[in-house]
A and B are shown apart, each in its own frame.
Chain A
Amino acid sequence: MIYVTDKTKKIILSSAIILLLTFTMYPSMITAVLPSAIILFLAITLITFKPKISVTSYVTPETINFKEYAEVYIKIKSSKQIYVEIYDEFPKTVEVIEGKPCYKGVVNEGEHIEFKYLVTPLTPGIHAWNILRIHARDSLNLFETILSYDIPRKLSVKIPKTYAEPSYGALRYRTLGFKEHYEPLFDKVKAYSLGDSLKQVIPRSILIPGGLRVKSFISETYGKTLKPREIRIIPVFSKDLVLKFQRTYSLLLHIIYSLYMEGLIRGYLINIVTPSGLRSVTSFNDINKNLEELRKYSEEEIANVLRKHIEGVMVIDYTLFTRFYNLIRQSESHVLVIMPIPDYYELLAEIPGICTLLNEISKENMRKIYTAKTKGRIYIISHSTDLDNFVRECL
């Protein structure tokens, strides 16, 4: 359907007013010539305004591993000179990390424009693109038409079979502080001296000349204990997040998956804290099952978990952070606050006016987090790469 712009509306209104006024003062057919000419011109422009646009778009590569990137290519060709605004409705479960899913500009006759943007999927699985919408306007900005293209574009994201080396610094033997058992690593055999445990005496050395021999362990040699390493993830999110903020919920999932992967690379045990107890996770499926279960609990039951002041890594959504702030401030856990990112954020941020509003809302929400004081450290997560700081500083 072709729509008229504000400019056309103003032209028609002023033409009608001029016609009525001039005809009242000078009742002659001549007075109708100018407004009629204007309306005729508009009619001719309308008839000739038939934008013929061809669109090519694809996602490459079509299959990637979790935490890898894919590119989305869009090519537009027009048979006439038009002004276009292109909005590509990408899935809510992906994040645009480079480029824009939007283009605004003139396409000259017979020429084409090409642009691309880089995305990273927030969760494993299949991500399907929605329609590609084009607002096309004639060169005089009189008429506007909306063209929708349903181009089948999918991105399949697999869970990697092997995980990469840790990306942030050397492996540290620091715990996030939780479990007490440990297994010391065998280092060498040494002569028995007073104070050595009899349990560590090698039985065969009793029969061998030269005295008793005992096993020595790395922990004793270097004067420190190799503590077992465990990450306790405490996911705290509201039902609103799952239903109304799918993009933010995907980001929360992404953070938990990433913590799990980083933990595995660094040799940590990964546990998820639920109101019914501690759940060990060994795969993405385990994480999904536990999060599904968490969705069934009421906010009061989740608050009870926070009242226990379990130490770990709290991954919490912004609404519950503000609601349970008094409980969280007493906890020594590191807090990763998932900021509320509206669905299709990158697309909305390209619309004048809406962009201004979203920036203001984001600043106001951020200010509240910055002024919050907790025993543990707070990390603001509004992008998948925001986890890097936490990993670098705490793992």
Chain B
Amino acid sequence: MIIEGLMFEILILIALSALLLAITRSISIENLPLLIERIHVIYNDEVMYLEEALLHRISRDFLVLNRFKQIKLAAALARLKKAIESRRDYVIIGRMYERINTMLSEKK
């Protein structure tokens, strides 16, 4: 009876925590949509969007790293890719890229 009650309380706590985290995630600054129009750049003599150039640039450095270091960086890279796909603001993408760039230069 006590264990059942405890389990019930833990479940409620988990549900509340999950709800709180979900709300926090949905109102995170990382969800800020792109407020200016998309910018083009010329990267390797090809016209592309700024964020695409950014991914090309990272993948060039990323491939040089060994497998273990790649796994460590994968989460941050996945977040950046998701932000780019969802067309997040350049201020946010810039912050993410800066973080990854610092990690990449540390790994080198």
Interface residues of A (CB under 8 A from B): 1-6, 8-9, 12-13, 16, 19-20, 23-24, 27, 39, 85, 87, 89, 130-131, 133, 135, 144, 146, 148, 240, 244-245, 318-319, 322, 340, 342-344, 347-348, 351-358, 360-361, 364-365, 368
Contact = CB atoms under 8 A, between A and B. Distances in A.
Contacts of B99: 353
B95 interface: yes
B66 interface: no
A59 B94 CA distance: 29
- At the interface, is chain B mostly helix, strand, loop or mixed? helix
Interface of B: 6, 9-10, 13-14, 17, 20-21, 24-25, 27-32, 35-37, 39-45, 47, 50, 53-54, 57, 90-91, 93-99, 101
19 contacts: A1-B27, A3-B32, A9-B24, A16-B17, A16-B20, A16-B21, A20-B14, A23-B9, A133-B35, A148-B35, A244-B47, A319-B42, A347-B36, A352-B95, A353-B95, A354-B94, A355-B94, A357-B53, A364-B44
Contacts of A27: 6, 9
Query: Which residue, A12, A240, A353, has most C-beta atoms of chain B within 10 A?
Result: A353
A203 B97 CA distance: 85
Given A4-B28, A5-B28, A361-B42, 4 more contacts: A6-B28, A9-B25, A23-B9, A319-B42
B15 to A, nearest CB: 11
A2 B27 contact: yes
Contacts of B9: 23, 27
B29 A5 contact: yes
Contact of A344 (B13, B39, B98, B101): B39
B47 A240 contact: yes
Report the 9 A-B pairs with minimum CB-CB distance, sorted nearest first: A353-B98, A353-B94, A353-B97, A16-B17, A351-B94, A3-B29, A244-B40, A354-B94, A340-B42
A144 B29 contact: yes
B10 A322 contact: no
A239 to B, nearest CB: 11
Contact of B50 (A4, A148, A318, A342): A342
A319 B47 contact: yes
A352 B100 CA distance: 12
A244 B57 CA distance: 21
Given A23-B13, A353-B96, A343 B25 contact: no
B11 to A, nearest CB: 11
A146 B41 contact: no
Given A12-B21, A20-B14, A39-B20, A356 B28 contact: no
A20 B7 CA distance: 11
A146 B44 CA distance: 34
B53 A361 contact: yes
Contact of B39 (A12, A318, A343): A343
Contacts of A133: 35
Contacts of B96: 353
B41 A361 contact: yes
A310 to B, nearest CB: 25
B28 A354 contact: no
Nearest to A87: B91
Contacts of B31: 3
B40 A348 contact: no
A204 to B, nearest CB: 69
A3 B96 CA distance: 16
Nearest to B99: A353
Nearest to B17: A16
Contacts of A240: 40, 47
